[in-house]
Amino acid sequence: MFVALAAVFFTMLTMTLLLTAVAVWCLSLGKPWPFGSMANSGLVLLYASYLAFVMFGTGPTDVHDYPVADNSQYAAPWPTDARSCVAQGHRSVVSHRGTHLHAWDFLRPMHSPILAARGGRVVAQLDSGHGVGWFEGNHITVDHGDGSSALYAHLAQGTARVQIGEQVLQGDHIADVGMVGKTLFPHLHFVVHDADGASLPIQFSDIGLPVAGGCYLPSSEL
Ligand SMILES: [Zn+2]
């Protein structure tokens, strides 16, 4: 709780400093406030707070925790010719904490395909939920057979293509992107857990270690 409050405080402080700097710069040069209307100022505030969030409110955890990308058994969980930007990365003040410390929120359009990042056996599947709210959303869990499992969350209703017990291969189309559960925009929440339910730091063979604010195209070279 203290860490979350501290992060919110620093985010507000950074926004205030940034906008004060712009205001002082305008005054000193005799220029008008550059962001015009209240609506534009609101947008600037939004971008400034997101920038501050990316800089201070989220990020990888200790980079030494991560296995190297070259040996990774994980591939990006969306088609290789499509780009995805990361809305929220690891260690985020918003919701990536505790057992979701090493989760990513990959922005993707509604109903675009979710691919298995790694092969394994489906051990949980729920796609009957609908709507946004603070409840467990639609998801699929794939057990990799070595104690680790991957969680794919916020699936669109009725789009799961696999059943519990089924074997999937890396790259299989398992469901479609939706916004069911704890989400305000269409995205895939992806996290890998160990056998005890702790979140595991991983990298992807094709996109390395994605960070908040970055956009990734799996078919491009690392
Ligand atoms: Zn998330």
* Contact of 88 with 96, CB cutoff 8 Å: yes
CA of 140 from ligand 1 middle (Å) equals 14
- What separation in Å is there between the alpha carbon of 20 and the centre of ligand 1? 32
Q: How far is ligand 1, taken at its centre, from the CA of residue 38, in Å? A: 31
- Give the pLDDT confidence of 183-206 residue by residue, as tens digits: 888 999 999 999 999 999 999 999
Check residue 73 and give its pLDDT.
Answer: 96
What is the pLDDT, as a whole number, of residue 10? 61
Query: pLDDT, tens digit, for every residue of 56-80?
Result: 667 676 767 788 888 899 999 999 9
Average pLDDT over residues 210-220: 91
C-alpha to C-alpha distance for 152 and 120, rounded to whole angstroms? 13
CA atoms of 156 and 192, how far apart (whole Å): 20
Cα 198 to the center of its chain, rounded Å: 17
Ligand 1 center–CA 189 separation, angstroms: 4
Cα 167 to middle of ligand 1, angstroms: 25
Structure tokens at 134: 């603070």
What is the band of 13 on the pLDDT scale with cuts at 50, 70, 90? low
| Cα(96) to centroid(ligand 1), Å | 6
CB atoms within 10 A of CB 42: 11
Amino acid at 90: H
State the pLDDT confidence band at 97, using cuts at 50, 70 and 90. Answer: confident
17-26: per-residue pLDDT in tens?
677 777 777 7
* Banded pLDDT at 1 (limits 50, 70, 90): very low
Q: What separation in Å is there between the alpha carbon of 64 and the centre of ligand 1?
A: 22
Cα–Cα distance for residue pair 109/129, rounded to 1 Å: 19
DSSP 52-89: HIIIII---S-GGGSPPGGG-----SS-TTS-EEEEE-
Task: State which H helix or E strand residue 192 sits in.
Answer: strand 187-193
Query: Cα(196) to centroid of ligand 1, in Å?
Result: 20
The alpha carbon of 66 and the centre of ligand 1 are apart by a number of angstroms equal to 19
Q: What's the pLDDT score for residue 8?
A: 58
Residue 158: CB partners within 8 Å, gap ≥ 6?
127, 128
How much is the pTM?
A: 0.79
Q: Which pLDDT does position 176 carry in this prediction?
A: 98
- Cβ atoms of residues 128 and 138 within 8 Å: yes
Domains, in order of start, for the chain: 2-57 (no CATH), 62-222 (2.70.70.10)
The sheet with strand 187-193 has its strands ordered as 167-168, 120-126, 139-143, 149-153, 187-193, 104-107, 84-88, 215-216
**Helix, strand or coil for residue 34?**
coil
Ligand 1 centroid from CA 71, angstroms: 25
pLDDT band at 162 (very low <50, low <70, confident <90, very high): very high
* DSSP label of 133: S
Structure tokens given for 176:
């479609």
> What's the CA-to-centroid distance between 95 and ligand 1, angstroms?
6
* Overall average pLDDT of the 164-193 stretch: 95
